[in-house]
Amino acid sequence: MSGVESDTAGNRTSGSGHRFLTPSVITLKDCAVKIAVVGTGYVGLVTGTCLAESGNDVICVDNNEKKVQTLNEGRLPIYEPGLLELVQRNRKEARLSFTTDLQSAVRQSRLTFIAVGTPQSDDGDADLSAVWAVAKAIALALKDVPPGPPGSRVVVVKSTVPVGTNARVAQILAENGCPHVDAASNPEFLKEGAAIDDFMKPDRVVVGVRKPEVAEALRELYTPFLRTERPFLAMTPESSEMTKYVANAMLATKISFINEMANLCDKLSADINDVRRGIGHDQRIGFQFLFPGPGYGGSCFPKDIRAILGMGRKVGQPLGMMQAVDDVNEAQKQVLFQKVRAHFGDDLKGKTVAVWGLAFKPRTDDVREAPALVLIDSLLAHGAAVRVHDPEAMENVRATYGDKLIYCDQPYGTLEGADALAIVTEWQHFRTPDFEVMRRLLRTPVIFDGRNIYDQKVMDQFGFTYYAIGRGKRK
């Protein structure tokens, strides 16, 4: 299926543009069907909810009884703007339900999405044990179900997985009595904080399939989301699996590149903001992901870069650029602390640092691989007291640090008696604070801005010593 996509009429076209007729299949609108989504983490919950919002009957499955109970009570285990309202509406209208009964959900469903976690293992590779376990459980649930035509039962791998995972899922299905069940891939391209829009208005939909009937079933599922001429791209499962990693690798490369250039600007008295504008208007480069900062974090980029490095190791293909991207990012997470230490010295005992922003990015409560945690660890290790604030991620941080930190409900409260402020996550309400109040609350007027959200002239006007990323120091 490499190079196959759909035109606006739904006919599949070859990479050269030749049209050919869609084979006769049982379509989703021909019979009452359900969709099962196994895994109610970030990807699974967003996927299931958005598919329900478009009119599908969706059953979300998880083996965590407490999480399922929380969801059935109309509450969410994660924070994502707009998601709670969609979950509550679709539950009320009986299109979305949550259960621990995988067998029942799968047997009712034509399409079963695997959206379980694939965390980084100790050797850096993706841990696929949950994917294998779910694939086997699906097969056991379906092995006595009579076979139908191609595309009538499809297991869709939604989790981010290394190349070859789909083939192994197909093998597990066949080994456990379900050679008639098709395995497809459908990588997600969701940004935390904007996941609903990303799903509802995708740049593209990518699927990996071995049969045109399976591609047709998935194309029909996604048609409501592709009404603005966005492409539906069908390819081999291996190509679709690789597409996800290559996309994240490119975005992570842009971040590490601009961070490295920012650090060079710091040394050469250049301003990375000016440089960024100077290159971003080049249409070959663009502005997206060219914002310097304290390094990328979250559940995708760090894990996916290390997974692609692991794939390279397994086939004897060195990936020097990807290794450099990871190395630059890990070093970048220390830049803010290095600025703190350069200002105050190595011994921070008796110093208090306020930290605004704990999540790895705004509009989420996700603190996985968050740069703020690296800064906090370094501050604590050098004897500083740390006061923290984040509008969504406080409880996740408290679960890790306990009483080692001082937690503040309001941004200004974080500043009381602090010797400096470090800004790590660019939440919108941090951008236009009352600088006079800030200066009055801080013991010394020092700001370490990891996101370059303030104007240096304004900092001069209010008498702050201001350190940013790639912009030098102004007093």
Residues within the annotated binding site for substrate? 189-192, 244, 289-293, 297, 361
Local structure of residue 26 (DSSP, 8 states): -
| Short-list 293, 298, 316, 273, CA closest to 393 | 298
Neighbours of 228 (CB within 10 A): 7
Please state, in angstroms and rounded to a whole number, the distance separating the CA atoms of residues 66 and 60.
Answer: 14
50 is catalytic: no
Residue 331, φ and ψ in degrees, nearest 5? -65, -35
Cα separation, 68 vs 98, whole angstroms: 6
Binding residues for NAD(+): 62, 67, 118, 160, 192, 303, 368
Measured on CA atoms in the order 248, 249, 254, 259, is the torsion positive or negative? positive
CA-to-CA distance for 336 and 313, rounded, in angstroms?
A: 32
Burial class (CB in 10 A: 0-12, 13-18, 19+), 250: exposed
Which of 448, 443, 470 has its CA nearest to residue 459? 448
Which among 417, 438, 413, 299 has a CA at the least distance from the CA of 359?
Answer: 299
Q: How many CB atoms lie within 10 A of CB 301?
A: 23
**What residues are paired with 353 via a beta bridge?**
386, 420
Q: In whole angstroms, how far apart are CA 163 and each of 20, 168, 169?
A: 29, 10, 12
Decide: helix, strand or coil at residue 340.
Answer: helix
Dmax (CA) for the chain in angstroms is: 76
C-alpha distances in Å from residue 224, one per residue of 42, 115, 229: 22, 21, 11
Helices 320-332 and 301-314 pack at an angle, to 10 degrees, of 150
Among 60, 178, 265, 300, which one carries the catalytic annotation?
300
Classify each residue of 282-292 as buried b or exposed e, where b means 16 or more C-beta atoms within 10 Å of its C-beta.
eeeeeeeebbb
Residue 299 CB-density burial (10 A; 0-12 exposed, 13-18 middle, 19+ buried): buried
Q: Which pair of structure tokens corresponds to residue 221?
A: 């599922």
Closest CA to 189 of 363, 4, 10, 46: 46
At 475, is the secondary structure helix, strand, or coil?
A: coil
DSSP 403: G
Q: Return the active site residues.
A: 300
